[in-house]
Amino acid sequence: MSKIVYEVYALRYATHAGRHASENFIFSDFHDDVLMPLDFFMWAIKGRDQVIIVDTGFDAETAKKRQRTYLQSPVEMLREIGINADDVTNVVITHMHYDHCGNLMAFPNARFHIQDDEMAYCTGRCMGHEALRKPFEVKDVINAIQCLFEGRLVFHKGNSKLVDGIFLHQLGGHTKGLQVVTVPTVRGEIVLASDAAHYWDNIRERSPFPIVVDVEGMLEAHEKIEALADGPYHIIPGHDPKILEVFPKLPGNNNIALLHVQPVFPNQGNIQNVTSQQLATTSQ
Ligand SMILES: [Zn+2]
């Protein structure tokens, strides 16, 4: 029997252009604090008879409130890859921060896969601290509870199989119950790392993004992600604009990247020969 493989898409639905590099690393020593934009993604996994959405983005109202540039509703973007939100039955919520779990109600027939620890985190005593509460929207937490009472939350504890070939792995650091998703593709095993690594540079430099509940847990997560992925570009960071430079894009839509296709750098040949220095220069 041949090995099952999936197509994986990154859909960039919003961006934050005015961010500086010093805001993106916990250990930073920047002489020249350059702009380092942050993009927002939803991910979609397509198999022969499976569709799985990973995270649900945020809506236009939240974009306005948090002063993020909203490009398009990620739920609408799904149509461009042949997915109708009404037909989706499985959605993974990597964690409950506002940019990953808005729009839950736009998937009326879905069950949402979430870690025990994440629901306990966003409904428990930690939310008494403003610094920890800030990346959450209470309306999203209320929607999750609504889904719980509709029997549409599926709880996971630690690592588990989602469907054939696709696994959830709980990793520490960013929140208490963040999970990443491993997916087999024709180019090997990829890891949708979500916010276990916002940028490739967080993981490369072993310098976590500053929104972190447990620095040790996040550094351990970086090691684990590297062990799970088949190579550096099989790690898909949660917010890195370089995703759309490195991976081929869906014809006709510059905001959708094909993560299952071998990445190629313009004028530099195949990924295997590309150094991190070259990666840095592709955005200039
Ligand atoms: Zn995020």
Q: Is 0.85 topped by the overall pTM?
A: yes
Least Cα distance to 21 among 7, 8, 6, 32 occurs for 32
**12: Cβ–Cβ under 8 A, 6 or more apart, which residues?**
39, 40, 41, 71, 243, 244, 255, 256, 257
Tell me, what's the pLDDT at 264?
A: 83
CA of 56 to the centre of ligand 1 (A): 11
Tell me, what's the pLDDT at 205?
A: 87
User: Looking at the domain assignment, is residue 261 inside a domain?
Assistant: yes
The vertex-102 CA angle with 97 and 105, nearest 5°, equals 140
**Residue 112 bridge partners (DSSP):** 91, 153
| Tokens describing residue 41 | 């993604």
User: Looking at the domain assignment, is residue 231 inside a domain?
Assistant: yes
Q: Mean pLDDT for the chain?
A: 91
Structural domain boundaries enclosing 76: 7-281
CA of 57 to the centre of ligand 1 (A): 9
The domain tally of the chain equals: 1
User: Looking at the domain assignment, is residue 237 inside a domain?
Assistant: yes
CA of 134 to the centre of ligand 1 (A): 12
Tell me, what's the pLDDT at 1?
A: 58
Which residues make up the environment of ion ligand 1, defined by Cβ < 5 Å? 99, 195
User: Looking at the domain assignment, is residue 1 inside a domain?
Assistant: no
**Which is more confident, 113 or 268?**
113
| 14-37: pLDDT as tens digits | 999 888 888 888 877 766 678 889
211: CATH = 3.60.15.10
Tell me, what's the pLDDT at 284?
A: 32
User: Looking at the domain assignment, is residue 96 inside a domain?
Assistant: yes
| 195-214: pLDDT as tens digits | 999 999 999 988 888 888 89
| 172-186: pLDDT as tens digits | 999 999 999 999 999
User: Looking at the domain assignment, is residue 155 inside a domain?
Assistant: yes
Tell me, what's the pLDDT at 279?
A: 44
Whether the pLDDT of residue 273 is over 50: the answer is no
User: Looking at the domain assignment, is residue 109 inside a domain?
Assistant: yes
CA of 172 to the centre of ligand 1 (A): 15
User: Looking at the domain assignment, is residue 110 inside a domain?
Assistant: yes
Tell me, what's the pLDDT at 270?
A: 47
Tell me, what's the pLDDT at 31?
A: 65
